[in-house]
Structure formats: C-alpha cells, structure tokens
Amino acid sequence: MKKHFKTGAFLAATFMSGVLMSGSALADDHAKVGVWGDDQSVSDGTVTAKKVVAEKNGWLVVHRTDESMKPGPVVGHAPLKMGKNKDVTAILTEEVASGDMLMLMLHAEDGGMKTGIFEYTLGAKEDGPVKKDGKLVMKTITAK
C-alpha cells in the first residue's frame, strides 16, 4: 500500500510540476511582446507576420520605411487579439514593389472614437504605436 501511495504522490507531483511549468512558459510567452516576420513576396497583395504578441487587443500595422528606419505611411493593417497571434496577414492598400522595405509594427487599440476601427494616421495618438522600454515594437522586412 505504501508503495502505491509513493508512486501516486510522485506522479501527482510530476504532473503538477508540468502544469506549473506550462503555465509559467505560457506567461513568459505572453510577456515577450514583439513582432516576428521574414522577408517575403508581396505579389498577392498581402504581408504576413509569423507571430505578434500583444499585451492587449490592437493592430499589426504595415508602414513603409527605408534605410533611415523611420516609420513612413501606413500601407496595411490587421487586427490583433491580446496574447499570441500567429500568421497575421495584412492586406496591402497600395502597391509595394520588390525591394521595398516594410516595417511591421504593433499598434494599440485605444484613444480613437470607435473600438475595432483602425483610426491611426502618421503622427496621431489614436491607435498609435506601442513602445516597450521606449522603443517601437516592430520588425523590418524587405518585400520580394
């Protein structure tokens, strides 16, 4: 009987340890706010971020950029949910040529007049860029 109790206690402890580790790994994953993406073809009129982690609902915004690495005009956006978002695809609203640099940037969903409507224009505060430690949360890619 004691042997079964020890085995059961060991299995329960192992299971709970795995649950706690999974929970902390999930929490760590959500804590890593960021945008991940690669250079890609935009010939189908879209651009995709492999993963975006957001602290709250917001937007993946596609800005034009260049070697100066300053965000330029918005050329696409897609909604994001709080937490991990995979394979987020934004429809491009204007022509993007092979070789053009694009900035995939995390924007907030706040400060605007309507929830769920992207209201940002360059330099505005509505649905504006998210900063972490004073830096924009973004990834620069090149269109192919």
* Digit-coded pLDDT (tens) for 29-39: 445 999 999 99
Distance CA 63, CA 65 (A): 6
Instruction: Taking residues 14-33, report their average pLDDT.
Output: 50
The candidate with the shortest Cα–Cα distance to 126, out of 136, 116, 134, is 116
The candidate with the shortest Cα–Cα distance to 129, out of 40, 46, 35, 50, is 35
Supply the pLDDT for residue 123: 84
Instruction: Evaluate whether 128 touches 111 at the Cβ level (below 8 Å).
Output: yes
**Dmax (CA) of the chain:** 73
